[in-house]
Amino acid sequence: MSWFMMSRSFQRLAMAGVLAGAGLVLAMGPAEAGNKPAKTVPVRLLSLNDFHGNLEPPTGSSGRMVDENGATVEAGGAAYVATHLKQLSDNNTLKVAQGDLIGATPLISAAYHDEPSVEFLGKLGVTASAVGNHEFDEGYAELRRIMRGGCHPVDGCSPAGEWKGADYSYLGANVIFKRPDASAEKEALAALGGQNTSSLRGLLREYGIPALPPVTVRWVNGVPIGFIGLVTQSTPNIVTSEGIKDLEFIDEVKAANVASKLLKLVGVKAQVVLVHEGDQVTAGQSPDACSAQPGTGNRIATQVDAEIDMILSGHSHQAYLCTVPDPKGGARLYSQGGSFGRVITKVDFQVDVRTRDVVRSSVVADNQVVTRTVIPDPDISTFVQTWKDRVAPVANKPIGRITADITNTGSPSGESSLGNLIADGQLAATKTGGNAQVALMNPGGVRTGLTYAGSPAGEGDGVVTYGEAFTVQPFNNLMQVVTLTGAQLKTVLEQQFTGGPNAQPFTKILQPSSNLTYTYSTGAAWGSKVSNLKIDGVDVTDGQSIRVAANNFLVGGGDAFLAFKDSTDLWSGPLDIDAFAAHFAANPSITPPVPNHITVVP
Ligand SMILES: [Zn+2]
C-alpha cells in the first residue's frame, strides 16, 4: 500500500495546523482590507446519500417520494439533481455525500464499473463522501482504482477512455488494515513533515493504520470545515469477503472520536461526520420529520465526541431531520436524505471566526425533494444520453440461449421455471468456496420472464442478452452461503406462509434449486405445513447441518424470512447477476426447467 492518499490528506491537515498557528486564517478569508471581519461566517452543506448510480430517473416506487406537503411526487434523475443543486448553491456551499453512490446500480453505470456515476458526482461539485458498503462491492483494490484512476484490470478502459479518478475524496475513518505494512506508520508520520509526531503516533496507535483517508478539510469563507467519513461496521457481512480480506471495519464511534481528535490537533473545530449508517422511519412521513426509530445510526449520532457538530447519515434509504443530544448535552443535527438522488439535504450554519467552531444554535436543515418539475440540466442530460447510447451494445450482448420462454409466473405450488433456473445458477456459483448444497431465491427478486423472442431487440432466436438477464436480476445482490440446521431450513419454509409469528402478508414461495424437494399442505396449521423435505433425494433430518445459498437480502432476514438470521458460518460470494450469467455461459442452450420440486396437498 502506497501512502499516496494518506500523505496528501495529512499534508493538508498539517497545512491547516500551520495556518492556525500563524494566525493567517482571517487574512485568508473574504474579509477584505479595511473591513472589520464578521464575527461569524455562513456555511451551507448540500448532501446526497445512496445515489446508487441512478443517472436516469429511477422508476416505480424507487422514483417516488413523499414531499413536505405529504404528497407523493416523482423524484430523482441526474439532470434534475443537477438543476436542484445549482438552484440551492451559493458562494458558501460545500457538496458532500454519505456513500453507496456506486454499487447496486443500473446497467448504464454498472456496465462501466460505475465510472459514469463517479464522473457525474464530480461534475456536480461533490467534494467529499463517506464510503458506503457498496463502494466495496468490487473490492478494495477496485475502490482505490475508482478513487485514483486507471483502466479496469480485466475489462480495460471504458468508451470514455482512461479513467481519471474521482474528483471528490472518499473517506473511511473506521476502515483499517488488518496487517499494516511495517513502513506504513513511518510514512504517515513523515508525511506530516515532523509536526505533531508524538501526538499523531499516539493517535495512529490508538486505532491502527487507516486504509482510506479518515478525514479531509475544506475551507469556506476563511474557516476550515473538517469532514470525517464512516461506513457501517456491518460491511463485512454485506459485501464479498475476498475483496476486503485485508481490511477491518471497526466501531464507528471509536473511529470517529480518533478522527475528531486528529482534526482538533490541527485546529479544525467545525466537524461534520458523514456516515454510511442510519435508521428506519415511519412510512409516509415528511422528509423533514424526525420519525427515525433510534437504532444503529442514532447510537453513532448520540455517542460520537461532542466536538463533532453534526451527523449526516445514509444506508437505510430514509429521509429524516433529527436533533439529537451529544455526549455533553448539546444539540446536534442527525439527518438523512432518502436514496437514488430523490432528496438533497441542505444544512445552513454559522461558524464563529474566532473559535472556528460551529454555532450550534444556528444550524438549520431542510430536506429538499428532487422534483422533476424543474428544467433538467442540459449538460447532464447530454452526459446521461451519451452513456445510454454507449451501454446499448453491452445490453445487447448475447450471454446464452433458451429453447423456449422461461416464465416467472408461478405454477400452482408457487414455484416458477425461471425462479428454479436462477436458484440452480446460484447453487452452481456457490458450491466452490461456499460449499453450498441447496439454493433458495426470493420470488420478488425475479423481476420479469425471459422470452424466446427476446427483448427489446426481438431477435426471435432464443438468444438471451446481458440486458435481458440484468432486467431479470437488477439488484446486484450478493450471493451468500450460510449453515442452517434441518429444523431451521424447515422453519424458513414454514415462514413462506401467512399465519405464522413472522406475519407474512401473503404466501411467498422461495424458488428452490432443482435438488430440493418437499410437500406443503394448504390446510395444515402454520408450523406443520412442510413435510417430506429432501435434498438430492435424501430425507433432511432436524439435526443435520446444511449449507444454504441465498442472496444477502434473504440471508439478512428480508421478506420476513427471519429464520435466516439464526444461521451461522456466513460466506459471501459473487453478485447474483454474475451467477446468473455464468450459468448461461456454462449451459449454452437452456431448456426451461419444469417447476415440479414442490408438491401441494390439501
Ligand atoms: Zn449501504
Q: Tell me: the pLDDT tens digits for 46-75?
A: 999 999 999 999 888 889 999 999 999 999
Give me 351's grid cell. 461558524
Percent of the chain with pLDDT strictly greater than 70: 90
Question: What does pLDDT average to over the chain?
Answer: 89
> Which domains are delineated in the chain?
40-378 (3.60.21.10), 398-600 (3.90.780.10)
Q: Does pLDDT of 31 surpass 80?
A: no
What is the number of other CB atoms lying within 10 angstroms of the CB of residue 206? 13
Q: Are 56 and 381 in contact (CB under 8 A)?
A: no
Residue type, 343: V
Contacts of 96 (CB under 8 A, 6+ apart): 45, 46, 47, 126, 127, 128, 129, 227, 272, 274, 312
Radius of gyration of the chain (CA): 26
* CA gap 20, 31 in Å, rounded: 17
The mean pLDDT of 584-599, rounded to a whole number, is 95
**For residue 130, how far is its CA from the centre of ligand 1 (angstroms)?**
11
Q: For residue 589, which of 452, 424, 423, 447 has the smallest C-alpha distance?
A: 452
How much is the pLDDT for 107?
92
The mean pLDDT of 389-412, rounded to a whole number, is 92
**For residue 297, how far is its CA from the centre of ligand 1 (angstroms)?**
12
The mean pLDDT of 137-150, rounded to a whole number, is 95
**For residue 465, how far is its CA from the centre of ligand 1 (angstroms)?**
29
**For residue 337, how far is its CA from the centre of ligand 1 (angstroms)?**
13
Q: For residue 117, which of 191, 58, 31, 198 has the smallest C-alpha distance?
A: 58
Name the more confident of 184 and 589.
589
Instruction: Indicate the burial class of 527 (C-beta count within 10 angstroms; 0-12, 13-18, 19 or more).
Output: middle
> Quick one: pLDDT band at residue 29, thresholds 50, 70, 90?
very low
**For residue 100, how far is its CA from the centre of ligand 1 (angstroms)?**
6
Name the more confident of 6 and 60.
60
**For residue 405, how far is its CA from the centre of ligand 1 (angstroms)?**
35
What is the number of other CB atoms lying within 10 angstroms of the CB of residue 424? 22
**For residue 157, how far is its CA from the centre of ligand 1 (angstroms)?**
27
Instruction: Indicate the burial class of 331 (C-beta count within 10 angstroms; 0-12, 13-18, 19 or more).
Output: exposed
pLDDT, tens digit, 9 for 90 and up, residues 295-317: 999 999 999 999 999 999 999 99
**For residue 277, how far is its CA from the centre of ligand 1 (angstroms)?**
7
How much is the pLDDT for 11?
47
How much is the pLDDT for 183?
63
**For residue 133, how far is its CA from the centre of ligand 1 (angstroms)?**
5
**For residue 106, how far is its CA from the centre of ligand 1 (angstroms)?**
16
> Quick one: pLDDT band at residue 336, thresholds 50, 70, 90?
very high
Q: Does pLDDT of 125 surpass 70?
A: yes
Q: Does pLDDT of 204 surpass 80?
A: no
* CA gap 105, 307 in Å, rounded: 36
Q: Does pLDDT of 537 surpass 80?
A: yes
* CA gap 63, 76 in Å, rounded: 6
How much is the pLDDT for 117?
98
Q: Does pLDDT of 202 surpass 50?
A: yes
**For residue 50, how far is its CA from the centre of ligand 1 (angstroms)?**
7
**For residue 544, how far is its CA from the centre of ligand 1 (angstroms)?**
34
**For residue 541, how far is its CA from the centre of ligand 1 (angstroms)?**
37
Helix, strand, coil percent content, the chain, rounded in steps of 5 = 30, 25, 40
> Quick one: pLDDT band at residue 283, thresholds 50, 70, 90?
confident
The mean pLDDT of 175-200, rounded to a whole number, is 66
Q: Does pLDDT of 14 surpass 90?
A: no
How much is the pLDDT for 366?
98
CB within 5 A of ion ligand 1: which residues?
A: 100, 132-133, 315
**For residue 154, how far is its CA from the centre of ligand 1 (angstroms)?**
26
**For residue 192, how far is its CA from the centre of ligand 1 (angstroms)?**
33
How much is the pLDDT for 548?
98
> Quick one: pLDDT band at residue 190, thresholds 50, 70, 90?
low
**For residue 294, how far is its CA from the centre of ligand 1 (angstroms)?**
17
Least confident window among 147-156, 159-168, 208-217, 323-332: 208-217
CA distance from start to end of the chain: 63
* CA gap 576, 591 in Å, rounded: 20
Q: Which residues of 502-516 are buried (b: 16+ CB within 10 A; e: fewer)?
A: bebeeebbbbbbbbb
Residue listed under C-alpha cell 423435505: 533
**For residue 553, how far is its CA from the centre of ligand 1 (angstroms)?**
12
**For residue 316, how far is its CA from the centre of ligand 1 (angstroms)?**
7
How much is the pLDDT for 20?
35
* Distance set, CA 134 to CA 53, 101, 482 (Å): 11, 8, 21
How much is the pLDDT for 24?
26
**For residue 234, how far is its CA from the centre of ligand 1 (angstroms)?**
10
How much is the pLDDT for 38?
56
**For residue 538, how far is its CA from the centre of ligand 1 (angstroms)?**
39
Q: Are 484 and 437 in contact (CB under 8 A)?
A: no
pLDDT, tens digit, 9 for 90 and up, residues 214-256: 999 999 999 999 999 999 999 987 777 778 989 999 999 999 9
pTM over 0.85: no
The mean pLDDT of 481-509, rounded to a whole number, is 93
**For residue 97, how far is its CA from the centre of ligand 1 (angstroms)?**
12
The mean pLDDT of 192-212, rounded to a whole number, is 72
**For residue 232, how far is its CA from the centre of ligand 1 (angstroms)?**
8
> Quick one: pLDDT band at residue 7, thresholds 50, 70, 90?
very low
The mean pLDDT of 524-542, rounded to a whole number, is 97
**For residue 103, how far is its CA from the centre of ligand 1 (angstroms)?**
9
> Quick one: pLDDT band at residue 30, thresholds 50, 70, 90?
very low
